[in-house]
Amino acid sequence: MAKTIFITGASRGFGKLWAEALLQRGDKVVATARDLSTLNDLVSKYGDNILPLQLDVNDRAADIAAIQQAKEHFGSIDVLINNAGYGLFGSVEETNEKEAREQMETNFFGLLWLTQAVLPVMRQQGHGHIIQVSSVLGLVTLPVLGLYNASKFAVEGLSETLATEVKGFGINISLIEPNGFATEWAGASSAQTVAMPEYDAVRAAFQAGLTDDIFGVPEATTPAVLKLIDSETPPLRLFLGKVAYPWVKQTYEGRFAEGENWNEVASAAHGK
């Protein structure tokens, strides 16, 4: 059965790939972008099955209005895919207030506003699926991506909590956690801080670790995302790529080992 999917950040990358795959199989798609011209090819090809909406997810009132317009246009919203976001490259010390706030506004607050806006629609329907495009960097970290890491860690905590709150309404929550993929995320879609020479060695080490093999093929993610959307019992977390899960597993094993080493001190701190 065809579904109605609302997807943000549909102008390029994962968002556009997934939007077109959904349209190809007959779903109805509400696709948002800051620049509507980036959706002209989809509109000309799929006609009434796509509703293109100009949207800056940082605008809470516009987010609420977009959800309402989508509901009125198609009658329902079965799936919300919060895909809009970008990477901010720079060390924590290099990051200024404006850069930090803008990173959180888009990656976290924009996602929050749309999530809040769609929940009443899904509660009234008695069903729904909210898919948050997080990152493996919401569970593990890399240097020179501290604010991006923080934004995705926030998305993880919010979404895991939300899943426990809305399950009784028939609403599922999923976090998509990709490793690196060959999209424009690290290029045209990204932002950079002003570099401090003190961190040149850190940046060099980071760049040296970016081998071609760790970047997946974006088109290869589509079957996994369609399967997630179609699942009657979707997982809370879906890793994408061959690097993500092993990396998280190794990192968490290290955290548990460190916790075990300090458990006597931790237990004594309980006081009783």
Q: Name the active-site residue from 134, 135, 151, 174.
A: 134
Sign of CA pseudo-dihedral 40, 42, 46, 48: negative
28 is a catalytic site residue: no
Structure tokens at 11: 């102008």
Q: Name the active-site residue from 11, 46, 71, 148.
A: 148
Distance CA 136, CA 125 (A): 32
151 is a catalytic site residue: no
AA identity, residue 155:
V
Q: Name the active-site residue from 3, 91, 152, 159.
A: 152
- Bridge partners, residue 192, by sequence: 89
Q: What is the DSSP letter of 195?
A: P
Nearest to 137 by CA among 181, 96, 196: 181
174 is a catalytic site residue: no
Contact 52, 33 (CB under 8 A): yes
**Residue 119: CB atoms within 10 Å:** 19
Contact 51, 33 (CB under 8 A): no
Q: Which residue has the tokens 């998305």?
A: 155
Distance CA 10, CA 32 (A): 6
Which residues are identified as catalytic? 134, 148, 152
